[in-house]
Amino acid sequence: MFFSKMHGLGNDFIVYDNILSLSIDWNQLAKKCCDRHLGIGADGILIVEKSDVADIKMRIINSDGSNAEMCGNGIRCFAKYVYEKNIVNKENFNIETGAGIKNVKLDVKDNKVLSVKVDMGIPCFEKSKIPFNSDMDNKNYEIEINNKKYNLTTLLLGVPHTVVYVDEIDEKEVIEVGKIIENLEIFPKRTNVNFVQIIDYNTIKVRTWERGAGMTLACGTGTCASAVACYINNKTDKNVTAKLFAGDLKVYYEDDNIIMEGPAQFICEGVYLNIL
């Protein structure tokens, strides 16, 4: 099966065109092809499908085979893919996702997508929708892990996100603590965990432990959730630059909507032979 491998600031995906609606166990395929030793290697797969309610439909499956409703870096890769493969011939179009319909606007030069601006929607703090099973205030609460206290914010932005405020990001801490927070009982559907370091009032640094994928180099929805959390807790301005491992992501908080802008790139293309 033909594939394209892409990345959004280091968050990498394998993209498959399923416009013909092939009968494949995509969840099992994701587990196999995302394996970085025995497969192609990626954080997840993106599947292009027809939509009855938007211009195109994006299905996302994590590297562990679990479904994801939405992915910020993934949707930028997806938008670039469907435009440059002539599946969608518009620079402003709508994508059906598991978290609703998302509008994307492309910055195009010489028929190549330079960056993608995505309307990520309105963040939700309603506990039952996240879901967040606790009497604590999910906008600002404290927990203790490994004898250390952490200040957190939890919200829904397509998928559940928990933001952890730290003085300095430590990748070992991201892995060890992120794994624990992801699986706390207060998160019945688990949660993505974003460690945020405040650089200044307009700049943050983010590293994410992603539900179903582990530590990733970037997470678009997580970065947007981090920007929202910092703003509502008076740590930053409404508009911030987020410094990720492989580059910067712009996040704008406009009329309660979150707008994300950043690049996406092709890495390679080929044929995956180990189809189920």
Note the helical H segments in the chain. Answer: 26-33, 72-84, 171-182, 220-232
Residue 256: its pLDDT value, please? 86
Task: Work out the percent of the chain whose per-residue pLDDT is above 90.
Answer: 93
**Which range has highest mean pLDDT (162-171, 214-223, 249-258, 266-275)?**
162-171
- From residue 202, give the alpha-carbon distance in Å to each of 217, 224, 227: 21, 14, 10
Whether the domain at 2-117+263-271 and the domain at 141-255 fall into the same CATH topology = yes
Q: Report, as residue numbers or ranges, the catalytic residues.
A: 71, 219
Tens-digit pLDDT profile for residues 189-231: 999 999 999 999 999 999 999 998 889 888 999 999 999 999 9
pTM of the full structure = 0.88
Q: Hey, which bits of 21-111 come out as E strands?
A: 44-49, 56-62, 67-68, 92-97, 100-109
Amino acid (one-letter) located at 257: N
The top-level CATH class assigned to 141-255 is alpha beta
User: Residue ranges of the domains in the chain?
Assistant: 2-117+263-271, 141-255
The class (CATH top level) of 2-117+263-271 is alpha beta
Residue 254: its pLDDT value, please?
Answer: 84
Q: With left for phi above 0 and alpha for psi between -120 and 50, is residue 173 left, alpha or beta?
A: alpha
Q: Is the pLDDT of residue 127 over 70?
A: yes
